Structure 1
Amino acid sequence: MRELEVIGLQPDGKHLVCADKETGEKFRLPANDKLRAASRGDIARFGQIEIEMESTLRPRDIQARIRSGASIEQVAAESGMPLHKVERYAYPVLLERSRAADLAQLGHPVRENGPAVHTLAEVVALAFRTRGHSLEDAEWDAWRDEDGHWIAQLRWQTGRTANAAHWRFQRDAHGGNVVALDDAAADIVDPDFGRPLRGLAPVAAVPAAPKVPDNQHTLDDYYSTVPIEDDNDSDNEPVAPVAPKQPATHANGKDKRGKPAMPSWEDVLLGIRSSGR
C-alpha cells in the first residue's frame, strides 16, 4: 500500500490534493463528511455516514421506482431514506401516474370484435351500477411496466373481498385502447357483465288436501253403513245395511216444508213411486 501526503487544497475547496512521496504522482480526494470523520478518528460517525451513502438512492432512481408502481413508504423502507426526502422526488411522478389513470379511463376497451364504442369509465360505471357495486369507493391508479406500457388498475371492495382489475393502456388520436390483463378486467368489459342476472320465479306451493273436521259427515255417514261385527255366539250371518231415515211426508207427496218428498230406500229398490204405485 502506497503512502500519500496532503500537499494542498484545490481552489474550489471541495477536494484535497495528495502526492506519492516516492513517485510524486498526485491524487485528489473529496473533502466530504466521511473524510472529516476519518481525520478526527470518529469511527462511529464514519460508519454511520458509510451506511447512509450506501442506502441513499439518486433522485432518478427514486422516480423510477415510483413510476413502476412502488409507493413512497416502500421506497423509503427499501432505501433507508427519510420519508420526506423520498416524497420530494416522488411527488411529480405521482402526478404523472394520476394523469395516466385518468387517460386510461377515456380509452376504449378492446373486445373480440374490436374496440367498444363506450369508454372504459362508462363501461365500468354501467357494470358497477347493474351489479350493485359502489363506484365512489373504487380507486384508480396507473404505472409503467418493464416494457414501458402504462398499466391501469381499478381496486374496489365487495363485502370483505378486495378486488382488482388491470388493463394495458395505449394512447392514440381517438382516446386510446385498453386491453384486459386479468379475469376481473375481462369480466367488466364483457357486454354480458352489465346485464342483470336472470331471476328465478318462485315455485307455487301445492295446497294440502283439506282435512275433514270431525263434525262433518262422510260418505259412510251419508249411507249409514253399519260395520259387520263378529259375534262368536251368532251364526255369522251378514247384517243388512240400514236404510237412511226418510223425512215424514203428507198425503200429497210433500214433506212438512212443502217440498216434494224424497223416495224411500225400499221404493228405490222396488221401483215404487212415492204415490204408492
Structure 2
Amino acid sequence: MRALRVVGITEGGDVVLEDSGRRERFTVPADEQLRAAARGDLTRLGQIAIELESQLRPREIQARIRAGASVEQVASAAGVPIQKIERFAYPVLLERSRTAEVAQRAHPVRTDGPDVRTLGDVVAHTFGLRGQEYTEAEWDSWKGEDGKWIVALSWRAGRSDNRAHWTFQPGAHGGTVTAVDEHASDLVEGLPARPLRPVGPVIDIARPEELPPTPQPAAELRATGSDVVRERSP
C-alpha cells in the first residue's frame, strides 16, 4: 500500500494528496465519507457503507428490527451481509430483550382488574399445572404498528409450536399486560392446554350430500296430512 500525505485543497474543495517518493499527486473528493475517516468515526463510516450498498438506511434497519424482524430478514431485504446489519441491530435487539424481561414483571389484566401476581409468575404456575417445562420457553418483544409493545412467549409442546401474545403498557408497579390471543388468555387464567383437533376418516368429515344414501327399511312410511300411516309389504 502506498503512503500519501495531504498537501493542499483545490479550488473545488477536493483534497490534494502526494506520493513523496514518486512525486505524484492525487485528488480526493472531500465528501462525508472522507470527513468521517479523518475523524476516525467508524460508526459513521459503517453507516455510509450500508447506504451505498443498500436501499435501506441504518435508521430504517433499526426500525425493522424494532418491529420484530430478524437480522437475517433485514440483511436479505437490504442485500448485504449479516455482519453489516448486526452492528445497527445490536442495540435494538438489546432493547427488545430488556422490554420482554420488564414485561414479565407486569401484572396481567383480568375482567376485575390487574392481577396481584406478575405475568412471569402466572405463566410459570400454569406451565407447572400442565406439566410443561417453563425454563425452555422463550420471551421476545417488539413494537406494533400502533407504537405499543407486544410481548410474545414461544414454547413447544409435543410436536406443536405455540405462541402467546400480550400488549405491554409500562407504568407504576411494573405496568400491565393484556392478552391478545387465546393462548395468552389461557396461560393467564391457568387453563389446561388446548387439545389438538383429531383428524378422522374422510367419510366422517364429508358433507351430508356426499354421504352414501341411508338404506330403506322393509316397511315404508306414508304421510297423510299430519298423520303417518305404516304400510307393510304384502
Instruction: Report the counterpart of residue 100 of structure 1 in structure 2.
Output: 99
Give per-residue Cα distances to partners, 1:117-148, cap 9 Å, x unaligned.
Answer: 10000000100011011111100000001111
Give per-residue Cα distances to partners, 1:137-195, cap 9 Å, x unaligned.
Answer: 1000000011111100000000100000000000111110000000100111115x279
Instruction: Report the counterpart of residue 89 of structure 2 in structure 1.
Output: 90
Q: Using a 3 Å threshold, how does the CA distance of structure 1 residues 81 and 141 change in structure 2: closer, same or farther? A: same
Query: Conserved in 2, the CA contact under 8 Å of 1:75 and 1:86?
Result: yes
Q: Which one scores higher on RCO, CA 8 angstroms, separation ≥ 6?
A: 2
**Which residues in structure 2 correspond to 1:1-277 (within 5 Å)?**
10-13=12-15, 53=52, 55-191=54-190, 193=191
Distance in 2 (CA, whole Å) between partners of 1:164 and 1:109 is 17
Distance in 2 (CA, whole Å) between partners of 1:56 and 1:9 is 33
Aligned residues: 153
Alignment identity in percent?
56
CA-based RMSD? 2.2
Give per-residue Cα distances to partners, 1:211-247, cap 9 Å, x unaligned.
Answer: xxxxxxxxxxxxxxxxxxxxxxxxxxxxxxxxxxxxx
Query: Conserved in 1, the CA contact under 8 Å of 2:68 and 2:142?
Result: yes
Distance in 2 (CA, whole Å) between partners of 1:89 and 1:67 is 11
Distance in 2 (CA, whole Å) between partners of 1:194 and 1:168 is 22
> How much has 1:55 moved relative to structure 2?
2.8
Distance in 2 (CA, whole Å) between partners of 1:13 and 1:58 is 27
Query: Conserved in 2, the CA contact under 8 Å of 1:56 and 1:81?
Result: no
Distance in 1 (CA, whole Å) between partners of 2:52 and 2:87 is 18
Q: Using a 3 Å threshold, how does the CA distance of structure 1 residues 148 and 131 change in structure 2: closer, same or farther? A: same
> How much has 1:53 moved relative to structure 2?
3.8
Q: SS of 1:118's equivalent?
A: coil
* Structure 1: runs of 5+ lacking an equivalent: 1-7, 15-29, 33-51, 196-277
Query: Conserved in 1, the CA contact under 8 Å of 2:53 and 2:80?
Result: no
> How much has 1:10 moved relative to structure 2?
2.1
Runs of 4+ aligned residues of structure 1 deviating over 6 Å after TM superposition are none
Query: Conserved in 2, the CA contact under 8 Å of 1:149 and 1:170?
Result: yes
More strand as a share of residues:
2
Distance in 2 (CA, whole Å) between partners of 1:9 and 1:72 is 44
Query: Conserved in 1, the CA contact under 8 Å of 2:143 and 2:149?
Result: yes
Alignment TM-score, normalising by the size of structure 1: 0.52
Q: Using a 3 Å threshold, how does the CA distance of structure 1 residues 137 and 9 change in structure 2: closer, same or farther? A: farther
Distance in 1 (CA, whole Å) between partners of 2:89 and 2:118 is 30
Distance in 2 (CA, whole Å) between partners of 1:159 and 1:182 is 21
* Structure 2: runs of 5+ lacking an equivalent: 1-9, 17-28, 32-50, 194-234
Distance in 1 (CA, whole Å) between partners of 2:68 and 2:159 is 25
Alignment TM-score, normalising by the size of structure 2: 0.61
Q: Using a 3 Å threshold, how does the CA distance of structure 1 residues 194 and 109 change in structure 2: closer, same or farther? A: farther
Q: SS of 1:146's equivalent?
A: coil
Distance in 2 (CA, whole Å) between partners of 1:12 and 1:137 is 59
**Counterpart amino acid of 2:187?**
I
> How much has 1:13 moved relative to structure 2?
3.9
Distance in 2 (CA, whole Å) between partners of 1:13 and 1:167 is 56
